[in-house]
Chains A and B, each alone.
Chain A
Amino acid sequence: MKSTSLFRSAWIVFRKEIQDALRDRRTLLRTLLPAMLMGPIMLIVMSSLIASFEEHAEIREVYVVGMEHAPTLRNYIERQTYTIKPAPANYEAQLRSAKLSDPVLLVPKEFEQELAQGEQPQLEVVSDSANMRSRSGTRNIEGLLKGFSNERAALGLAMRGVSTQLVQTIDVVERDLASTQARASQLTNMLPMFIIMAVLIGLMAAALDSTAGERERGSLEPLLMNPVQRSALVLGKWAAVATLGILVATLSALSFLPAQRLIRSDSLQAMFQFGPQEAMAFLAVLLPLAAALAAVLMAAAIRCKTHKEAQATGGLVITIASVLPLITILNPGAEAAWHLMVPALAQATLMMHVLKGEALSSLQIVLPALVCMVLTAACLADVARTLQRAALK
């Protein structure tokens, strides 16, 4: 009997594992379908959300109670091309239940009289901080009222012959440094986390089946009775699992390309630019991660006697790997150097860079890839060591 080389044996194992996984149509569909649909679904949901915000911003309306007590203010608001609408009587309840999505301005009866006497009348702006959209409208009303107050003050000073510059000692101009893509990425920050999750779910079934599943079926012991190096078995199995993970990663990265056409909001469409180049950058970032996570899942699962036990362990790995990206999502822009050394976190951070339209440096690509390679090697060596013990239960 001629002896088989390491790579030939690994290739035989790889081919069989892939064939086995492809035969499992239902599992395959359940992992690949979400990966393909994720891009379109995420973008549609986000764009409709933004579109509703935009619509809202364009409508210049103010809901007021007691406008009849303040003709001067009405005059000012109307000059700013806002429409004044009477607030519904039960505006408090409506705000709480989010039926009313605009804040309400309350004008007291004595407003005009106090204003004329220079007594600083009080105005109330009512909103519900749990009602996100009413909260964002508050800023508009406050700006409007400040403008009114400034105009009144300027008039009063001018009548007394004082320059308004004495009061306004500084002039503030806002300048936003974020590029348009960076602004869009505030909304798309979650995407990398979902892609990493999709990859993990894609890996899970195959990783578990080729380790704990093989153990539970009782096919691992006969497999080890073939004159094949353990490393060849592990290498072949890992290559098959990683290939499936890479397939999912590729599908989910590519799914954004056609999905962009579905974006309903014009401004998001202008800001979210995801071309073939971005897709390639995503893949360059994701491939080492998929390979490493395949090895990690296998190392976790080979220690489990049953598929069920392995699923619990795999779930833990998935949770950790998908929670790590939250570190940057919740605190965008504040990156530390060590972020690049942590698998999953590094990849999420880099994908966010790509979405912002920033180019990746070679260090940013190589360092996380290197970490993933070391992790892969360590986990595979561990699986090869554990294989024999695992076969005997």
Chain B
Amino acid sequence: MLVIQNLSKAFHQRSATGIFKRGAEQQIAAVRSVSLQAPNGQITGLLGPNGAGKTTTLRIVAGLIKPDAGTVEVDGINVATHTNAALARMGVLSDAHGLYPRLTARENIVYFAELQGMTADGANQRAETLADILDMKPLLERRTDGFSQGERMKTALARALVHDPANIILDEPTNGLDVLATRSLRDALRHLRSPEGGSKCIVFSTHIMQEVERLCDDVVVVAHGCTVAHGTVPDLLARTGQTDFEQAFVELAFQQELANKVHGVIA
């Protein structure tokens, strides 16, 4: 169970200038007001255009960034104050999911498992189980050096899920995957959502409509750092009076932009 309430975060950035002059400091609001509730046994999609604040939100969820305001609770544990306890209950596949090229896939997975506090035996068993679920058995003993994009993603996902977390947070996991790899990832996520898979709470961010339509029980639409809508796919279609989900999404995100323009927030 993941609950995000009124999250906001601004970054300081200097504008580009000449060699000797320092630029004026600018405040860039990456996240203004994001809220969502992701219950167990459901896949919640965090849908938004590029630069909407998805990655920043997920980094705050993973405890890497302290929010300016708002709270994130994982199974009732506040991430900002009890980061490590919360991290133990989360499996996060972030935007950056680099592997160690000189280690095998199994070693990559077992390393993180041990950092999560698992024993070597438990970690190895879990690696086998995950390799079954993610259909990557032949990869386990290979060095990750020559892995394809899809193989890397699978390994990174197995690494994130190794401690069997109740909450799974994925940042654009289908990026760069081909049809087959995307399908098998979808199947894996459906399995994890099901009672046999452990009724996990799954949150995943994407900007691909198809993914959301096919997979998500609940959708949260984010634009310009704000939650602008949430509900099931049929809900959102009904609200916008559209039959095409892409059209519905554009309307939801675009509406916000229009409103902002009227209020003069966006120059």
Contact = CB atoms under 8 A, between A and B. Distances in A.
Given A20-B100, A24-B102, A222 B156 contact: yes
Contacts of B29: none
Contact of A226 (B94, B96, B103, B116): B116
A1 B163 contact: yes
Contacts of B107: 16, 19
Given A225-B94, A391-B64, A1 B59 contact: no
Contacts of A219: 96-100
Contacts of A23: 102-103
A11 to B, nearest CB: 9
B115 A20 contact: no
Given A16-B111, A227-B116, A227-B117, A1 B88 contact: yes
B63 A225 contact: yes
A120 B233 CA distance: 117
A3 interface: yes
A388 interface: yes
- What size tier do the contact residues of chain B reach? 35 or more
A12 B111 contact: yes
A221 B171 CA distance: 13
B105 interface: no
Contact of B97 (A1, A4, A24, A222): A222
Contacts of A217: 98-101
A392 B117 CA distance: 25
A227 B63 CA distance: 10
Contact of B64 (A4, A9, A214, A225): A225
A8 to B, nearest CB: 8
A230 to B, nearest CB: 10
A223 B94 CA distance: 11
B172 interface: no
Contacts of B99: 217, 219
Contacts of B112: 222-223, 226
A228 B97 contact: no
Interface in A18-46: 19-20, 23-24
On chain A, which size bracket covers the interface? Answer: 20 to 34
A3 B84 contact: yes
Given A1-B117, A12-B115, A217-B98, A225 B87 contact: yes
A232 B107 CA distance: 19
Contacts, number: 91
Interface in A211-268: 214, 217-229
Interface in A320-358: none
A175 interface: no
B128 interface: no
A2 interface: yes
Interface string B77-107: 0000001110111101111111111110001
Contacts of A391: 64, 96
B103 A228 contact: no
B102 A20 contact: yes
User: Taking each of A1, A223, A227, which has the highest tally of chain B beta carbons within 10 Å of its own beta carbon?
Assistant: A227
Contact of B115 (A214, A218, A228): A228
Contacts of A4: 115-117
Contacts of A223: 112, 115
B100 A222 contact: no
Interface string B233-259: 000000000000000000000000000
Interface of B: 59, 62-65, 83-85, 87-90, 92-103, 107, 111-112, 114-117, 156, 159-160, 163
Given A217-B100, A218-B98, 17 more contacts: A4-B116, A12-B111, A12-B114, A13-B115, A16-B111, A23-B103, A214-B98, A217-B99, A218-B96, A219-B99, A222-B93, A222-B160, A226-B87, A227-B85, A227-B115, A388-B64, A392-B65
Query: What are the 5 closest A-B residue pairs judged by CB atoms, nearest first?
Result: A218-B98, A218-B96, A219-B98, A217-B98, A227-B84
Interface of A: 1-4, 9, 12-13, 16, 19-20, 23-24, 214, 217-229, 388, 391-392
